Amino acid sequence: MGENSKSLFDFDDILIEPATISKIKSRTEIKSRNVWGMLPLMTAPMDTVIDENNLHIFKNSGITPILPRIPNPTPEWISYEHFLSYSLIDFKRLFLDEKVDTPLRKKIYVLIDIANGHMYDLYESVKTAKKMYGNDMCLMVGNVANPKTFKEYCEVGADLVRIGIGNGNGCLTTVQTGVGYPMASLIEECLYIKKTRGYKTEIVADGGFKKYSDVIKALAIGADYVMLGSILNKCLESAGVTTNKNGEVIDQYSGTAKKYIEADLPLFKTFRGMSTKEVQVDWGKDTIKTSEGVVRTNNVEYTLEGWVKNFEDYLKSAMSYTGKKELRDFIGGVNYNHITQNSFRRFDK
């Protein structure tokens, strides 16, 4: 074993412990959204999940929208309302080469979206940006898979840090490189750093969530937000190209699409990671790099409204078991126990 090796865990290795006595009488008492009426969820910045056509649908459902990167963004690619994604090169060109004047009482929402958030160049760019803009820029960075790296970004004032490398259903990084960090352990250790040091940086757990309980456990351990890609791609309203069993393209926002759902007829969605060769070709890249992402077809399994309702009901149930009426008290504020795989198999139906 390595000099600093240790045993790490993931979501199937733990269970949330109920409160000894919960004083909550009904789930109607529970506030599962924050003060702005939003759920602790974000869209992954993937072009088969979200675009400008469905951004409002996610936002109205209580999910914070993050628009994906576009090739060669102009200075007009800027938002004071929601996060836009940028490569590090584009971020430096648009925001660091010359300071953008922000309107009074407005802030720019930026995600520097790169696979390897451990690069010194990114770290220095974040430090420079926060000195230039301060609270006029809400800056999310990542991805990182080392609690010590999370601490470094907290030190230079990053507002949010995406944690998790190789976990996502559209990502092959860990499978192909062997680099990564189990998400549950990563959240736990980042929260410890955040609490002991008094940092305000928010933890965004990104990638690999397969079921409702994964998301709820991530929040229980201490993630401020959970970022979802594949789960949201499987909803009817996602930005992925939608087809029927004959391969005919169906407008997912049309009455026809709703009739398919009502009649329980199959629909399918294209899903792809943003580092795939397909995306590189679409962006007109001269040099195509080895893909660290996948392209697949997912079944449409639900409407966004239906998934959100189920998630919120399950989250409220978990909060009632643990005696937490407020979302802020549930996040990182409950007990959980490590279990054996025999224990997991007992209820994994």
Question: In which element (H, E) is residue 337 found?
Answer: strand 336-338
Scan for tokens 């000099």, then name that residue.
3
| Integer Cα distance of 174 and 180 in angstroms | 6
In Å, the largest CA–CA distance within the chain is 62
| Integer Cα distance of 68 and 85 in angstroms | 5
Express each pLDDT in 216-263 by its tens digit.
Answer: 999 999 999 999 999 999 999 999 999 999 999 999 999 999 999 999
Return the structure tokens found at 210. 């397969």
| Integer Cα distance of 336 and 318 in angstroms | 12
Instruction: Please state which CATH class domain 17-347 belongs to.
Output: alpha beta
| Integer Cα distance of 183 and 246 in angstroms | 38
Express each pLDDT in 196-214 by its tens digit.
Answer: 999 999 999 998 899 999 9
- Residue 1 CB neighbours (<10 A): 6
- pTM comes to 0.91
pLDDT at 176 over 80: no
What's at 348, amino acid-wise?
Answer: D
Nearest to 337 by CA among 317, 315, 322: 322
